[in-house]
Amino acid sequence: MSAPLDDLVVVDLTRALAGPHATMMLADLGARVIKVESPTGDDTRGWGPPFLDEDGARESTYFLSANRNKESIALDLRSEEGRDILRKLVQRADVLAENFRTGVLDRLGFSLAELHDINPRLIVLSITGFGHDGPEGGRSGYDQIAQGEAGLMSLTGPSADEPTKVGVPIADLLAGMNGAFGLLAALHERERTGRGRVVRTSLLASVVGIHGFQGTRATIAGEVPRAIGNQHPSIAPYGLFRTADAPVQIAVGSEGLWTSFAPLVGLDAADPRFARNGNRVERREELRDLIEMAFSNSSSEAVLEALERAGIPAGKVRTLDDVYAWDQTRSQGLVIEVDHPVFGTLELPGPVLRFDDNAYAGGRKDHTAPPMLDQHRRQLLDWLEDQETSA
């Protein structure tokens, strides 16, 4: 079976994480993604430890997380030779992705107008830290800075006094996902118009875009949401609860679930203190203490079994080694094997999409390892020459 995007060519000028994550999503769906790197390579090749080191080659596990299914060519875009090769790539591309600071591409001779002169059908994805315009549009963006500036850290952590970042670079990852989503919309539009356009997103936009109900608490209710640890601000009981040996997560998201849950912890579902969700939210701490007291002599496994029998959504808190060993994770194609030219067989976290006409992960049957720097120069230059010959 062909992959959904196997007729697309993507020129990937991005580095670090937001842009590479976007282009990796396209590559997972079958697109040919040509990663154009500086002669020293993507910065993330040096972001470690941990590193893989073998036969004089070294690669960071950070780089390996965001660059599967791509080809690499190293170009010095300050040189005429490098710019000439990039022009040829742009001529044959459907998509160009970049996450330079505003103005950098213009100074290299590849403004948006010039890119569309080279290829009027080109879709350009531009990812910035805080937006391409506005009073702070020129700011460089790093994930944790964006998490703080966009309010996410004020909502995360044990209390309002301890703002805490999310444990993964969520602003970068969301910007990549939003960028891929926008690109696909622009590609669909191009089927009607025959012309490309520019798709823009930012780390700021991507974090503000997931404020969800916390955002409307601020804009409509006039409240300023703050971190409250592992409890839900609008639903109770919903969160992390201690047992005799390990915490469990419980989500009592409806009055029907409350009716089933209350007897498990020795409470009357009609108790006026807790009869409705609003009552339970107001008395969240009191309710949590009663629940944890009821669980204090039971193991987490026993609690989870009782909750499952009662139909209450619940779960454990797994470490990542446990997640990747879990048979449910593997059954969904979320761990894949690739053959690296230096490091041999590697296991990587896999694509998040599956299609009904195949059982393998993502849109392609075979996945390739993240490339070594400049690994595909010769075959890419040969391909460009063949394209020129046949044009």
Tell me whether residue 172 is one of the annotated catalytic residues.
Answer: yes
Taking a C-beta distance cutoff of 8 angstroms, is the pair 178, 201 a contact? Answer: yes
SS3 340: strand
Residue 66 confidence class, pLDDT cut points 50, 70, 90? very high
Radius of gyration of the chain (CA): 25
Q: State if pTM tops 0.85.
A: yes
Nearest CA to 129 out of 243, 16, 284 is that of 16
The pLDDT score that the predictor gives to residue 1 is 63
Whether the pLDDT of residue 55 is over 90: the answer is: no
pLDDT digit string, tens, across residues 219-277: 999 999 999 999 999 999 999 999 999 999 999 999 999 999 999 999 999 999 999 99
Domain ranges (residues) in the chain = 9-210+327-390, 238-317
Percent over 90 (pLDDT), the chain: 91
Give the β-pairing of 123-128 and 57-60: unpaired
Q: What is the DSSP annotation of 50-107?
A: SEEEETTEEEEHHHHTS-TTEEEEE--TTSHHHHHHHHHHHHT-SEEEE-PPTTHHHH
Distance CA 359, CA 345 (A): 21
What mean pLDDT comes out for the span 272-299?
Answer: 97
Closest alpha carbon to 140 in 25, 40, 18? 18
Supply the pLDDT for residue 356.
Answer: 78
DSSP conformation letters of 273-318: TTSSHHHHHHTHHHHHHHHHHHHTTS-HHHHHHHHHHTT--EEE--
* Per-residue confidence (pLDDT) for residue 128, from 0 to 100: 96
Supply the pLDDT for residue 255: 97
pLDDT tier at 361 (50, 70, 90 boundaries)?
Answer: low
Q: 174-187, pLDDT tens digit by residue?
A: 999 999 999 999 99
Over 70: is that where the pLDDT of 359 sits?
no
- Mean pLDDT value across residues 20-44: 97
User: Which pLDDT belongs to residue 360?
Assistant: 57
Rounded CA separation 375/277 (Å):
58
CATH number of 9-210+327-390: 3.40.50.10540
Q: Where is average pLDDT lowest: 212-226, 322-336, 357-371?
A: 357-371
Query: Annotated catalytic residue: which of 94, 172, 374, 382?
Result: 172
Tell me the three state secondary structure of residue 385.
Answer: helix
Q: CB burial class (10 A; 0-12, 13-18, 19+) of residue 112?
A: middle
Question: CA 332 from chain center: how many Å?
Answer: 18
For 187, list phi and psi in degrees, rounded to 5. -65, -40
* Residue bearing the bigger pLDDT, 97 or 355: 97
pLDDT at 243: 98
The CATH fold of domain 238-317 = formyl-coa transferase, domain 3 (3.30.1540)
- The pairing of strands 70-74 and 32-37 is parallel
Question: What SS3 state is found at 189?
Answer: helix
Mean pLDDT of the residues in the chain:
95
Other Cβ atoms less than 10 A from the Cβ of 50: the count is 9
CB atoms within 10 A of CB 54: 12
Q: Which residue has the higher pLDDT, 2 or 284?
A: 284
Residue matched to tokens 């444990």: 167
pLDDT at position 364, please?
Answer: 84
Helix locations, the chain, DSSP H: 18-28, 61-64, 80-91, 104-107, 112-118, 143-149, 152-155, 170-193, 203-208, 213-219, 255-261, 277-282, 284-295, 300-309, 320-325, 327-331, 377-390
Residues in the chain, total: 391
pLDDT at 178: 98
Mean pLDDT of 28-43: 97
CB 171 within 8 A of CB 202: no
**pLDDT exceeds 90 at position 358:** no
Calculate mean pLDDT across residues 205-226.
97
Query: What is the Cα–Cα distance from 40 to 75, expressed in whole angstroms?
Result: 10
Q: Which of 36-50, 72-86, 98-112, 355-369 has the lowest mean pLDDT?
A: 355-369
